[in-house]
Structures are given as C-alpha cells and as structure tokens.
Amino acid sequence: MKTTQTAVLVKPDGLQRGLIGEIISRFERKGLKLIGLKMINMNDEQLSDWYSEHKDKSFFGDLKSFMGSMPIVCMVWEGIDAVPVVRKLVGTTLGREAEAGSIRGDFGMSQQFNLIHASANGDDAQREIRIVFDDNELFKYHSVREVVVYADYELSSLK
Ligand code: CMP
C-alpha cells in the first residue's frame, strides 16, 4: 500500500467559500509537494466510482448531486506518509466536531458540506487518483525545499 501520494478534492462548498488558496497553502506550508492539479465537473460515472463504498447509503444520491453540481478542484499531494498526514490536516468528517487547527475544524460546521475530501488509505488514494488524472497529468520534479523539509535518510523513502 503506497502512502506517499494522496488525492484531495476541494468540494463545491469549499469553492463557494473561497477556501481553495487557504487549503493549498496549508498543504504547502506543511512540506507536501503538489504533483497534480485540475478543476473539473465530475460526471456521474466518476462520482459513482469515487463514492462506490457509499453506494448503499441513504445519502448516496444527494452526495453525488452535490458533488456534481459545480466544479471541484482536484489535487495530488506527495510526501512521506502523505495519506495520514493529509487526513490529520483535514480533520474528522463532521465539521462542528473536527479538531481546531484542522481545515474542517477551522472552517466547517456541516457533515455534507465538509469542504474537502482526502483519501482514506493508500489503495483508495491510487484508485481515486486514477479516476481523475492521466499519467501525463502527474508531475515528477525536484523540489528545492525537500532538503530542508526532510533529513537525508528520510528522502530515500520518497524515491
Ligand atoms: P468524505 O468523507 O469526503 O466522503 C464521503 C462524504 O459523504 C463525506 O465526506 C460527507 O461529505 C458525505 N456524508 C457523510 N455522511 C453524510 C450524511 N449523513 N448525509 C450527507 N452526506 C454525508
């Protein structure tokens, strides 16, 4: 299970709240590396794939129509343990209970309007990335910050 790459969506409420820059900035300041970024309208097939684990839940239809109602911003972030690191920065699902200091804890009150999606584990991350990004939309590049974000012995786990 690869946990060095993770998928993030800024949901319609995050777009409308004007939080895209704030969200990107939090991941950048943490030391994560942005390797993919696009704004799309997710179609029904993409949404059914993305939320397949919720297909039998009562809110599945509402969730898909909300997520398909306007453009969303999709990102791939890379770093050591990026999946759990991003989950922690995002906070728990219900905004009004999410930890202060997390994105949902600082900006959210709702369960459905919880601003942002972050992959739950490495397998989900790879599946979700493939739903939105082609290989040529994911970038490999040298980040000059890496040598101050990580010690030498840690950098090898990112290769
Ligand atoms: P997320 O964890 O990103 O992915 C599943 C989403 O379903 C979750 O965020 C919420 O936005 C949404 N969700 C969870 N529970 C409910 C609910 N009871 N009603 C509507 N939406 C929900």
The pLDDT of residue 2 is 76
Rg (C-alpha) for the chain, rounded Å, is 15
The pLDDT of residue 25 is 98
Confidence band of 14 (pLDDT split at 50, 70, 90): very high
Q: Which residue of 93, 97, 109, 121 sits with most ligand 1 atoms within 8 Å of its CB, as the best mutation to test the pocket?
A: 93
Check residue 96 and report its DSSP letter.
G
> What CATH number corresponds to the domain at position 110?
3.30.70.141
What's the 48 CA to ligand 1 centre distance in angstroms? Answer: 14
Say what percent of the chain tops pLDDT 90.
Answer: 95
**Cβ of 48 less than 6 Å from ligand 1:** no
The pLDDT of residue 158 is 82
Confidence band of 30 (pLDDT split at 50, 70, 90): very high
Q: What is the mean pLDDT of residues 75-95?
A: 98
Q: 17-22: long-range contacts (C-beta < 8 A, 24 or more apart)?
A: 17/107, 17/115, 19/103, 19/107, 19/115, 20/73, 22/103, 22/107
Those residues with Cβ within 8 angstroms of residue 44's Cβ, 6 or more apart along the chain or in another chain: 64, 68
**Cβ of 59 less than 6 Å from ligand 1:** yes
**Cβ of 117 less than 6 Å from ligand 1:** yes
Residue 147 half-sphere exposure toward CB, CA atoms < 13 A: 2
Contact 146, 33 (CB under 8 A): yes
Domain hosting residue 96, numbered range: 3-158
What's the 120 CA to ligand 1 centre distance in angstroms? Answer: 13
Q: pLDDT, tens digit, for every residue of 132-147?
A: 999 999 999 999 999 9
The pLDDT of residue 89 is 98
Total-model pTM: 0.95
Q: Cα(first)–Cα(last) distance of the chain, in Å?
A: 15
The number of domains in the chain is 1
